[in-house]
Amino acid sequence: MKTDAELVASALRGSQDAYRELVKRFERPVYSLVVRMVQDPAAAEDLAQEVFLKAFRRLGSYDPQWKFSSWLFKIAHNTTIDYLRRGGPATVPLEAEEGDKGGLGAVLADGTTADPQAMAERRDLARSLERAIAQLRPEYRQAVLMFYAHGASYQDICEVTGLPLGTVKTNLHRARKELAQAMTSLGWGPKGEMAGETGRVPGS
C-alpha cells in the first residue's frame, strides 16, 4: 500500500487514481471531525468536500515533512472555524433516527454484537456521548475529537489549531471534566453508584 506522501506525489504528477485514493483514505476521519464539530450532516458533507477541494488546490504547497493527516486536519480546522464564524447552525445536537444511514444510528448499529440488548445499550451510550460532545465549546470539542476519536498527539493538535502546548493540554483537561459532567447529567454513572449496576439511572 502506498504511503500518503507517495499518493500526494502521484497526484501532483496528475494521477487521478491517487486523488481518489486520498479521498477514500481520509473521507471518514475528515467527515467525522467536521460533522461532530458543526452538528449538521448536510452542512458537514459540503464542508468536508470543501476541505478536500482546498487540499487538492494547494497540494503543491504540502510539505512531506508534515503528516498528511495533520495538514488535512488543519484545512478542516480552518474551514470549520470559518463556517462557525459565519454563524452556521451549530446549536442543533447531532441526532439520528433509527435506521438513519448517514447518522448515529448507522454508526452504532455496527453488528459486532448479536445481543440486541447490548446493541441497544451501546447505541444509547453513544448517543449520550455525542450529545455530551455537542455541549462542549467548539475549541474543547475539537481537542477532544482529535485526541480521543482520531488519536492525534498533543503536538498534532498544536500544529492544527496553532495553539501552544499548555493551552491544548488545559483545553483537553477541562473538556474531559465537562464531558464527564454532561454524561452524569444525562444519567450515566460509575458502577456501584447507580442501583448497583452500571448505566443510566432507571427512568432517566
Q: Which of 67, 129, 170, 187 binds other proteins (CB under 8 A)?
A: 129
Scanning the structure block, which residue is given the C-alpha cell 488546490?
Answer: 57
Return the range that interacts with other proteins (CB under 8 A); candidates 2-10, 28-36, 62-70.
28-36
13 binds other proteins (CB under 8 A): no
Contact status: 28 vs other proteins (CB under 8 A)? yes
- Burial (CB count within 10 angstroms: exposed 0-12, middle 13-18, buried 19+), residue 46: middle
The Cα–Cα gap between 126 and 130 comes to 6
CB of 75 to other proteins, least distance (A): 11
CB of 195 to other proteins, least distance (A): 14
Distance CA 132, CA 34 (A): 16
9 binds other proteins (CB under 8 A): no
Q: φ, ψ for residue 131 (rounded to 5)?
A: -65, -40
Which stretches within the chain are classed as H helix?
A: 4-12, 16-38, 41-57, 68-85, 104-108, 116-135, 138-144, 154-161, 165-185
Cell of 91: 446549536
Q: Does 43 bind other proteins (CB under 8 A)?
A: no
Binding interface with other proteins (CB under 8 A): 16, 19-20, 23-24, 27-29, 31-32, 35-36, 39, 41, 44-45, 48-49, 52-53, 56, 77-78, 81-82, 84-85, 87, 90-91, 101-104, 106-108, 110, 113, 118, 121-122, 125-126, 129, 134-139, 147-149, 161-163, 173, 176-177, 179-180, 183-184, 188-191, 198-199
